[in-house]
Chain A
């Protein structure tokens, strides 16, 4: 009786540990470097047209400062993201700017994007619940939004990587999908 009870307790503990895959667990495997740059290849799937639009370029990020997203094909453009704003430039001219105090929703969006790209797990924990596996140095997780207003934009985000983030797949509520692959990453 006592043995059976202790087995049950051990099983409970074990299952508890298996479920304990959280942001800290990946944080141990994945690095959040001060600087990172590399190339990206993006495929955007538009559900209304059932078609895909490709683009590629490179990016640079400085932790807690900014991310510069430079699209080179098929058009030249640059998006700069800071933790609370988002601006798009073309030919050195700002075409669009979102954020600041007037648009708190954009502040949250920027915050999330920044956190995803810089693997700031602590910040992500505010907005998402996590599910997935860590296998040695590789990890593969799905982020599911906690709040309704996020759910109305994104159903879930798949991320995988090792030391650094390698793939993102963002599933929008509208049925659109954005798949981004990162290459030649350098800290």
Chain B
């Protein structure tokens, strides 16, 4: 009867595990590797967030390939090969690589009915200043000059308004050459291909389709002395996935192997590492399943971090096995359950604090870790009593050996310990006070220098900044939005006069507000009234004036709308300039390039003067948020220590310092030291300190609960060693976030280990100390 009661939860746990395995197998969670997913949501400004999301979505689907080489003919041949290969891929939605006269012609046809309403900014400026005569003179000169720009239509457009508008559309960067898109002025010759992916850049199936083709093309081009320079999120995603995979397989496997080897060595039994393996495996399965169910996907950083979880989740198993060696089977669980429960409780609490950070990636890491630990714990509590019935109960040889070895580690008295810890805490605080912090998101980017170099090369060739800086204008409706944007573009023109390097692409240049279009029409009307007579007389065709006036009147009152424009070839090309997100007013983004720190300051000032204009610098914004959260989470860490400290104070009274002291002082010390190391203290160091707290408290609690018996020392030191192996190996990670975690935990656990050993009480002393309150 009693057996059935004990078996029932174990069977239930088995069923739950099978269910979770099925879940993972059915869902097959996509692996996310974007640093962007680590970044917080901009809750305060949904407008900015919506705009950023869209820019990000656009960027994430785009793949830019530039073929370069001395021999232009070879480069063209390679570009055609690229186009042929990519067009054949179902994953490519659209491919832009050709230029045709028809496209320019289509654009001209689209704007012809609106030629009096949409004017080039320069021409509008001249007309607004009242220099009608100058515009007429230019037209006359163009007519008689042998170097006229474009076809002249003396009746439909005598003053050449349309050709002038058209000339503002070309960025003067790309020109048609042999039917391809050649980057003008680039040496050596460079041709452009832009692909739009039909799928998520982080989707492994997308990466698997595109990456081998790209590598093949690159190799092929290189053999023809053509270099391929590429840019696109899919490249970063694929590289990140590859890196994380290799890190999981190296760090994860090494840490698991060393844990099993250590267990084998200490327990001198093949069963022990198998049991530990079972608890680790069930922990990992629980972690993956819960994270998948909660988030719908797995972040590679969470997974790689989870590799370190192996080292932590073995703790429970080790303690069970160690405790079993000194007591009879039936009472093992009852004896160590309070310690195990406190241990898992404090760890989960530490991870839960991490989940408070508004970083989706960190939430996943927290969820992954908490679920993993809980899973491993349940396995130990529910399965071990059943699985270890016939386990031998020989005393641990390692315990005797350790008891001997520990004699060589110096110890201090309680009084010395308290004073020593206080002194260390003061030193740590001084270090922290004089140290530095670093919140630059760029430090945390994991992209390889090679990929970043190519990205920069593409940006330089296309004269584009990254999409991380832009301006945002919003309005009650589209018309108000356009009017506001026109005011802003005017203000930007003043900045441009001082900084010719600043380029602005704005929606209102393509589609002015209705009010502006009417204003333009009035200006043109005035131009015709004042200048048409003289113009046609100079031409020697005065009869044409009446025809020109008729053509003008016929084209009046037909304003261009945003909806119409969005359907045009140009509108499709620049669709990212206009955004109507559900539940938000319409907004437009102004693309900017050539921003210097000086310009950035002026743009910030400009945005500060209006409630409907924003200047967004995503990198700067994220860096500021990182700083904000570093401070906030430091507060949380302090609070977590305080709450846990309070609970422990209630249970351990005067002995509380032995449990709380090592992780607290070690945490402070590590923070102090890190704030003086190279990059300064960052958010991810602080988050890792939460982990240190969790592991350190586990250690202190187990030691207290078991009166520091030699067997528990074996388990505690073993789990410390395995945690060091698991997390310490993360120091080797190329992913900066994992590296920072690894470094912090490595230093923190080493310090905790050293302090705990120094202030330990010998088993014989411990009884006295506990009895004396």
Contacts and interface: CB of A to CB of B under 8 A. Distances in A.
Interface stretch (A13-21, A48-56, A132-140): A48-56
A103 B155 CA distance: 28
B176 A152 contact: yes
B707 to A, nearest CB: 81
A44 B140 CA distance: 13
Interface in A45-86: 46-49, 51, 53, 55, 69, 71, 74-75, 77, 79, 81, 86
Nearest to B503: A102
B212 interface: no
A147 B146 contact: no
Given A75-B538, A105-B172, A170-B146, A176 B138 contact: no
A23 B68 CA distance: 29
B147 interface: yes
Given A48-B156, A79-B147, A147-B177, A152 B104 contact: yes
Given A75-B144, A104-B172, A180-B146, A49 B155 contact: yes
A175 B214 CA distance: 44
B145 A69 contact: yes
B149 interface: yes
B156 A55 contact: no
A14 B137 CA distance: 55
Given A49-B154, A105-B170, A176-B151, A44 B144 contact: yes
A102 B500 CA distance: 10
Interface residues on A, range: 35 or more
Interface stretch (B333-341, B539-547, B576-584, B688-696): B539-547
Interface string A153-187: 10000000000000000101111101010000000
A71 B151 contact: no
B144 A104 contact: no
B412 interface: no
A148 B104 CA distance: 12
Nearest to B180: A148
| Most interface-central of B144, B155, B538, B540 (chain A CB within 10 A) | B144
B109 interface: no
A29 B234 CA distance: 58
A86 B538 contact: no
Given A75-B538, A151-B101, A152-B176, A176 B145 contact: no
B296 to A, nearest CB: 48
Contacts of A71: 144-145
Contact of A88 (B104, B141, B176): B141
A98 interface: yes
Interface string B114-143: 000000000000000000001001101111
Contacts of A149: 99, 175-177
A109 B104 CA distance: 18
A82 to B, nearest CB: 13
Nearest to B101: A152
A173 B105 CA distance: 12
Contacts of A180: 146
B151 A172 contact: yes
B519 interface: no
A1 interface: no
Nearest to A180: B146
A105 B175 contact: yes
Contacts of B151: 47-48, 172-176
Contacts of A74: 144, 538, 540
Interface of A: 42, 44, 46-49, 51, 53, 55, 69, 71, 74-75, 77, 79, 81, 86, 88, 90, 95-96, 98, 102-105, 109, 113, 146-149, 151-153, 170, 172-176, 178, 180
14 contacts: A46-B152, A53-B144, A74-B144, A77-B145, A81-B147, A96-B141, A96-B142, A102-B172, A104-B184, A105-B170, A113-B147, A147-B178, A149-B99, A149-B175
List 6 tightest A-B contacts by C-beta distance, closest first. A174-B151, A148-B176, A149-B176, A104-B184, A55-B144, A152-B101
